[in-house]
Structure 1
Amino acid sequence: MKKSLIIFTVVCFLATGALVAQNYLTKPQPPLTLTTDDINAFLTELPDANLEGLRSDPKGKELFRQQIARSLAIVVEAEQRGLFQKPEIKSQLDIAYAQIVGELWKRRPEAQEKPITPQDVAAFYREKPTAFEDFLAQNPQYRQAPKMDELKEKYGEFQVARMRGEAAGINKTPTFQLQLRLAQAQIVGNDIITKLQEAANPTDEEIEAYYKAHPEEFEEYKASHILISTLQPPTGPDGKPTSKKPLTEEEAQAKAEKLIKELQAGADFAKLAEQHSDDPGSKKQGGDLGYFREGTMVQPFFEGVKALQVGAFSTTPVKTQYGYHIIKLLDKRTKTIDEPLKREITEKLRQRKVEAKLDELVTRYGIVVPADFTIPPAPTS
């Protein structure tokens, strides 16, 4: 399934270690009707790298809201199915709880003012001498860790951070509660999604109907191109650089426009590609890219392809992040429905059914996630 079903790109940073809490929440609390302030507070705790997609994608904000709601639905559904009572799930929840409390604590100013020292870790083990062995007993996979002493020290540090976080009341804040639920969804998500997938297999009739109803998705284009790069020095027919520096935007555009004039005067497209294209993958084939479908090329290039009639070439250069392209459309056809394409459609329809089922669970369990939250601005440097 695509990652949008299971979430979890924005919260994966919560589950990066192998640490366990002695006091934990293994049973989800009642589902939240989240407030705008809840979401805003949660977003301020995310690393900036996790927010870049929300800022750049116009649909990112709504997708994020959907993901949060579906994750909460997964948690409630897992509780209904008794998944949180399984010992292996409880062990993972221990780890998630400790990590979230500890990480939230470490971001507080007081944690910076009073960092955890080796003496603090030693004091923890004097008070709880069997804590690390208890952890290994519950998580035997870590007995094979190559540096056991380092793991023990790290475990102790995280336990101290957890205890300080609990003492500060971090585990009672709305931000913690939401992060815990998302971690719970991450832990049980695969089990729930697998169960939903088993009931979501499309029929042959549904596959055929989708294929007939969406011919544009299965159109294949065969094109050649000449790339005038702005990222790498121009190359000659032998593929070797003809200068030390890439062309500027103005130089690359001017060169592409000059080649278009040569094509309009009757020059052979393949020969010009062999002589001037900076794409090493297609240069020796006269610029031939073979057949491709939408989604396999960067969007500005694909839009340039779609705008052409078969046999025609670009009359103005097509700009992408790679430079300027002159494109010639060689052929256009609709892909026949073979086994690989049938599997592709099957997966797409299955995903849609699972997403619809998750949205049904969101409604059934009364989960509300507001849409008027604010994405934190990018930091200024």
Structure 2
Amino acid sequence: MRNDIVAIMKKSLIIFAFVCFLAGGALVAQNYLTRPQSPLTLATDDINKFLADLPAGNLAGLREDPKGKEEFRKQIARSLAIVAEAEQRGLFQKPEVKSQLDIAYAQIVGEMWNRRPEAKEKPIGKGDIEAFYRERPTAFEDFLTQNPQFRQAPKMDELKEKYGEFQVARLRGEAAGVNKTAAFQLQWRLLQANIVGNEIIGKLQESAKASAEEIEAYYKAHPEEFEEYKASHILISTTQPPASPDGKTPAKALTEAEARAKAEGLIKQLQGGADFAKLAEQYSDDPGSKKQGGDLGYFREGMMVAPFFEGVKALQVGSFSAAPVQTQFGFHIIKLLDKRPKPLDEPTKREVGEKLRQRKVENKLDELVARYGIVVPSDFTVPPAPAS
């Protein structure tokens, strides 16, 4: 139940599995990677094409979170500002940054190609990899020279094959022009931001430390953020097969109407004097809390999804939901067990200090957005969820 919706951007939504596997230089278009990349004033269609080219499953949080689109827009703008600031500081000329960009470029082009229908019609086979090495007999040795740590790899033949497959996908993508699309242009800049972001943000953090006075003032001005709640809940899921007292699990999840009706039935039992913890153990679809009678422990604002937390705040200690509370997980019956203020102790001071520092950094990034004239529209369209 804790709010663990994956953030839409790790600034770019790019899967780095093979980047981490190879972690070094590659045979790519160096002139493309190192030439100056001016910031973009994005058009709505640029973002639409970018989102359409991403795996639909990666966009669940953006579709479900009402504030997700605006946060996504802000992060796009801040990422482009990081790229502009990095160019200003000459970070893209550093050898270690160039090396990361080389392999990242191949990663993006290859993955964008592999998501195309024509890539599925003609998958990369062993013959394609052999042809790649016949035309470039020193390619793998060049890679090992640039990345000597991989000379100790236990499965060198497998590494060579994977590297060849990776490069064939990159070449096919370039031949198809995926590196000239609007989706690529935006994704490339976002990945640049991901690579140099730590250094830029680190510089901004140097002047963003919160003072003791700022920490205390924030604590006093926002008492609601430091209220801790302890609650139990019974979840009737609409995303997974329901719990069953007899141990027989149905083959599919309940519909929304079925789940609501089941939750309403349990509320009637509670109103008739049934024990909340026992009903949670029997019927809750939350495996993390049902064995504890639905007990979620203490939490604060921001640690639970918003509809659930609003349902908690509406209760008096000892009371339970008069009607089911709906979230993306299903329907909840909530019981508030305790409420207490969190003291301004050392852990809380560190937490508030970090929050204020993060806020200052975000403000500095927004100043960079304005300085470099970066414009990101908000009227883009999130692709619908794939049919189940």
Q: How does 1:160-309 map to 2 (within 5 A)?
A: 160-222=168-230, 225=232, 227=234, 231-234=242-245, 244=248, 249=259, 250=261, 252-262=263-273, 272-273=275-276, 276-278=279-281, 291-297=298-304, 299-309=306-316
- Relative distance call for 1:188 and 1:142 in structure 2 (3 A) is farther
1:7–1:71 contact (8 Å) kept in structure 2: no
Aligned equivalent of 1:139: 147
State the 1:245 CA deviation: 6.2
2:322 is aligned with 1:316: yes
2:44 is aligned with 1:36: yes
Unaligned 5+ runs, structure 1? 235-240, 264-271
- Opposite residue 82 of structure 1, the aligned amino acid is G
Aligned equivalent of 1:88: 96
1:105–1:164 contact (8 Å) kept in structure 2: yes
2:229–2:336 contact (8 Å) kept in structure 1: no
- Opposite residue 198 of structure 2, the aligned amino acid is N
- Relative distance call for 1:129 and 1:3 in structure 2 (3 A) is farther
User: Deviation string for 1:140-180 (max 9, x for gaps)?
Assistant: 34334332212211212222332333333333333222221
CA–CA separation in structure 1 for the residues paired with 2:273 and 2:62: 44
The secondary structure found in structure 2 opposite 1:333 is strand
Most deviating of 139-148 and 72-81: 139-148
User: Deviation string for 1:239-280 (max 9, x for gaps)?
Assistant: xx6x756997545533432332338xxxxxxxx346554279
Aligned equivalent of 2:115: 107
The secondary structure found in structure 1 opposite 2:42 is coil
State the 1:115 CA deviation: 3.7
CA–CA separation in structure 2 for the residues paired with 1:29 and 1:94: 15
2:270–2:276 contact (8 Å) kept in structure 1: no
Paired residue total: 362
Larger radius of gyration: 1
Most deviating of 301-310 and 333-342: 301-310
RMSD across aligned C-alpha pairs, in angstroms? 3.4
State the 1:362 CA deviation: 1.1
2:372 is aligned with 1:365: yes
CA–CA separation in structure 2 for the residues paired with 1:98 and 1:358: 29
Aligned equivalent of 1:344: 351
Superposition TM-score, scaled by structure 1 size: 0.82
2:110–2:166 contact (8 Å) kept in structure 1: yes
State the 1:57 CA deviation: 1.4
Aligned equivalent of 1:268: none
Work out which of the residue numbers 345, 353, 356 in structure 1 matches 2:360. Answer: 353
User: Deviation string for 1:177-225 (max 9, x for gaps)?
Assistant: 22211111111111212221222111111111110110110112345x5
2:37 is aligned with 1:26: no
State the 1:91 CA deviation: 0.8
The secondary structure found in structure 2 opposite 1:13 is coil
Same amino acid, percent of matched pairs: 66
State the 1:5 CA deviation: 9.9
CA–CA separation in structure 1 for the residues paired with 2:154 and 2:141: 16
State the 1:226 CA deviation: 7.0
CA–CA separation in structure 2 for the residues paired with 1:197 and 1:3: 26
Work out which of the residue numbers 53, 59, 62 in structure 2 matches 1:54. Answer: 62
Work out which of the residue numbers 158, 161, 166 in structure 2 matches 1:153. Answer: 161
The secondary structure found in structure 2 opposite 1:43 is helix
CA–CA separation in structure 1 for the residues paired with 2:196 and 2:121: 37
2:6–2:61 contact (8 Å) kept in structure 1: no
1:116–1:157 contact (8 Å) kept in structure 2: yes
Unaligned 5+ runs, structure 2? none
